[in-house]
Amino acid sequence: MRRAFLAALAAAVAAFAIYPEFGTGYGVRSILQVFMWIALAGSWNLVSGLTGYVSFGHVAFFGAGAYAGGILITQHGWPWPVASLGGGAAALVLAAVIGGPCLRLKGPYFAIAMLGLNEVLRALVSYFEGLTGGGNGLSLPTLDASVPIYYVMGLLAMAVTAGTYLIITSRFGLRLMTIREDELAAEAMGIDTFRHKMYALLLSAVGPGIAGALTARDQGYIEPISVFPLATTITMIVMVLFGGKGTVWGPVLGAVVLFVAQELVWARYPYVHPLLFGAIIVAVVLAMPRGVLGLLQIKYHLPRTI
Amino acid sequence: MATPALEIEDVRKSFGGVAAVNGVSLRLPPGRIYGLIGPNGSGKTTLFNCITGVERRDAGRIFLNGERIDGLKPYQVAQKGVGRTFQIIRVFPELTALENLLVVTRGAREAARARALELLRFVKLEGLKDEYAGNLSYGQQKLVEFVRMLMRDPALVLLDEPAAGVNRTLLNDLLEAVRRLRDQGKTVLLVEHDMKVVMGLCETVFVLDHGEKIAEGPPGVIQTDERVIEAYFGR
């Protein structure tokens, strides 16, 4: 079973690796998007799926990475692969700064604080026109790098998923889960819950930061409303809830299934699309609050590494 | 005279205008089992929460083996060697029984696993090690919580109503386990409503009423103390 799974995984990775050789431009861009959603959903899962601290502003890290990357490329002439790491670093710094005050809040208050953070960041980016172009947006020099970005985004998706596997199978991961399970009991067992929440938030910020910078490079133009949309956070959350929070493959499954569903429905019935997403949220929350893999995990007693 | 395992000096804690703990001092020489009793609302759980850092005391000092622990955060108090169980069970329901114990440990993975398995064997739950704690029966969860607390090998053990909701067989096992902790040199302080348990197990009993200590002594003496009888039954 395990061997078959690993073989299938290796085959999938190989197929994605050679796909740009013969795939269409549309295909490459679509898969690039799937990679991005895997990285975003997987990152959200690290903090919210494991510690239970639901972040409603995770796109803030994506947007911060996009602007940091965009500014580094346009104003400092950094090559985009390095600038994308700069985007990750910017998101990390943002997480370190806001983690202190926000992680002392519990439950819905944390969620709202993160939501507010995203709005503040969007306003700040609009305000500092000299640096960010403000509401006019930021245009990057023309460059067709879709294929290399495809590979880097693919690596990012793999790194986030592999990192999730390592964390979930470690005692560090168990300690993160105790925060979700019962924070007071975790403290009573000698676990420094604040520090662990901080680690989780930092880890969950890097991926979106890099993905944001890569997206900025890929699209060539960013503006505040395009990189700080609440809809992106909601999509990450729905993907993880659908696939199974707190598992390794749940975010991957959610990202793939919902992205494909979205593309199919969106192409044919553009007006039904938001309705479909709303319906999925309601259905998942009501029928299987643990998501597809979470349900299987509990029912058949499977490890969280599914 | 040996340094007390736990010494509480004039600890006070109010919620709004209500003095939940109103200047309590306790001295617990090590290696014995102590009981903390009192009517509902007498301040027992608040005192527990002050010791463990869950509540910040308003005044007073708390020493663990001569070292001040008041003002520390709950996880720091736990790391200093205070283990506790809760009045309402607090296992990690979606972690397995074994994982519930493993979260506490650092260092060598195999050694931690061996210790966790040994503790689960100690309470006869080895066969359920891979079951989610939330799926276990009430009594089994109570045992998981009890041995999880022992993973850090605490010097001072605080038990909040260990006998509540536990059947007789399990209760005897638990009491036996508590005695064995004492025999290992640990100090145990328990809050308990079941007087039979308190009288049979504790060597010294402290009685709280309205946030104040009204009596202290061996169980036999406490039972006949007029102030205690008055606190429990009224005049």
In a domain, B84, yes or no: yes
Interchain pair B103, A186: CB under 8 A: yes
A298–chain B Cβ distance below 8 A for any pair: yes
Q: What is the pLDDT of residues B116-174, one digit of tens each?
A: 999 999 888 999 999 999 999 998 999 999 999 999 999 999 999 988 878 888 888 88
Assign A1 to helix, strand or coil: coil
Question: Which residue, among B36, B145, B167, B156, has the nearest Cα to B85 in the 3D structure?
Answer: B145
Residue of A nearest to B146 (CA): A189
Q: Find the farthest-apart pair of alpha carbons in chain A and give their distance in angstroms, rounded.
A: 57
Whether the Cβ atoms of residue A91 and residue A234 lie closer than 8 Å to each other: no
Q: Which helix (H) or strand (E) holds B75?
A: helix B74-80
The complex scores an ipTM of 0.90
A181–chain B Cβ distance below 8 A for any pair: yes
Interchain pair A185, B52: CB under 8 A: no
Whether the Cβ atoms of residue B68 and residue B61 lie closer than 8 Å to each other: yes
In a domain, B164, yes or no: yes
- Between chain A and chain B, the number of residue pairs with CB atoms below 8 A apart is 74
In a domain, B137, yes or no: no
Whole domain around residue B34: which residue ranges? 6-90+153-233
Evaluate if pTM is beyond 0.95: no
Q: How far apart are CA B203 and CA B5, in angstroms?
A: 15
Q: What is the DSSP letter of B186?
A: -
Residues of B in contact with A187 (CB under 8 A): 54, 73-75, 78
Whether the Cβ atoms of residue B208 and residue B44 lie closer than 8 Å to each other: yes
Interchain pair A181, B54: CB under 8 A: no
Interchain pair A181, B95: CB under 8 A: yes
Assign B176 to helix, strand or coil: helix
Residues of A in contact with B86 (CB under 8 A): 185, 188
Whether the Cβ atoms of residue A91 and residue A61 lie closer than 8 Å to each other: yes
In a domain, B39, yes or no: yes
* Residue from A51, A180, A181 whose CB has the most chain B CBs within 10 Å, to mutate: A181
In a domain, B108, yes or no: no
Question: Which residue, among B187, B184, B105, B20, has the nearest Cα to A174 in the 3D structure?
Answer: B105
Residue type, A209: G
Over the Cα atoms of chain A, what is R_g?
19
Structure tokens at A59: 């796109």
Interface of B to A at Cβ within 8 Å reads 52, 54, 73-75, 78-79, 83-84, 86, 90-95, 99, 102-106, 109, 112, 130, 132, 148-149, 151-152
Counting the structural domains of chain B, the total is 1
CB-count burial class (<10 Å; 0-12, 13-18, 19+) for A157 = buried
Whether the Cβ atoms of residue A235 and residue A37 lie closer than 8 Å to each other: yes
**pLDDT per residue as tens, chain A (306 positions):** 788 989 999 999 999 999 999 889 899 999 999 999 999 999 999 999 999 999 999 999 999 999 999 999 999 999 999 999 999 999 999 999 999 999 999 888 999 999 999 999 999 999 888 888 888 888 888 888 889 999 999 999 999 999 999 999 999 999 999 999 999 999 999 999 999 999 999 999 999 999 999 999 999 999 999 999 998 999 999 999 999 999 999 999 999 999 998 888 777 777 777 787 788 778 888 888 888 888 888 788 888 887
Assign A134 to helix, strand or coil: helix
Alpha helices in chain A (DSSP H): 2-22, 25-44, 50-51, 59-76, 80-102, 107-127, 129-132, 146-168, 171-181, 183-188, 193-219, 224-227, 230-243, 250-268, 273-287, 291-299
Question: How would you classify the pairing of strands B6-15 and B59-64?
Answer: antiparallel
Interchain pair A191, B54: CB under 8 A: no
In a domain, B223, yes or no: yes
In a domain, B189, yes or no: yes
Per-residue b or e along B146-166, where b marks 16 or more CB atoms closer than 10 Å to that residue's CB: bbbbbbbebbbbbbbbbbbeb
In a domain, B141, yes or no: no
Per-residue b or e along B175-198, where b marks 16 or more CB atoms closer than 10 Å to that residue's CB: bebbeebbeeebbbbbbbebeebb
Structure tokens at A119: 């709005």
Cβ-based neighbour number of residue A65 at 10 Å: 34
Structure tokens at A181: 């399970």
Interchain pair B78, A188: CB under 8 A: yes
Whether the Cβ atoms of residue B152 and residue B109 lie closer than 8 Å to each other: no
Q: What is the torsional sign of CA A32, A38, A44, A46?
A: negative
Ordered by where they begin, the domains of chain A are 25-133+140-299 (1.10.3470)
* β-bridge mates for residue B205, sequence order: B35, B217
Whether the Cβ atoms of residue B112 and residue B188 lie closer than 8 Å to each other: no
Q: Which residues of chain B have pLDDT under 50?
A: none
Structure tokens at A129: 């026109």
Q: How far apart are CA B50 and CA B56, in angstroms?
A: 6
pLDDT value of residue B106: 74
CATH of residue B73's domain is 3.40.50.300
Give the angle B182-B184-B185 at the CA atoms, nearest 5°: 65
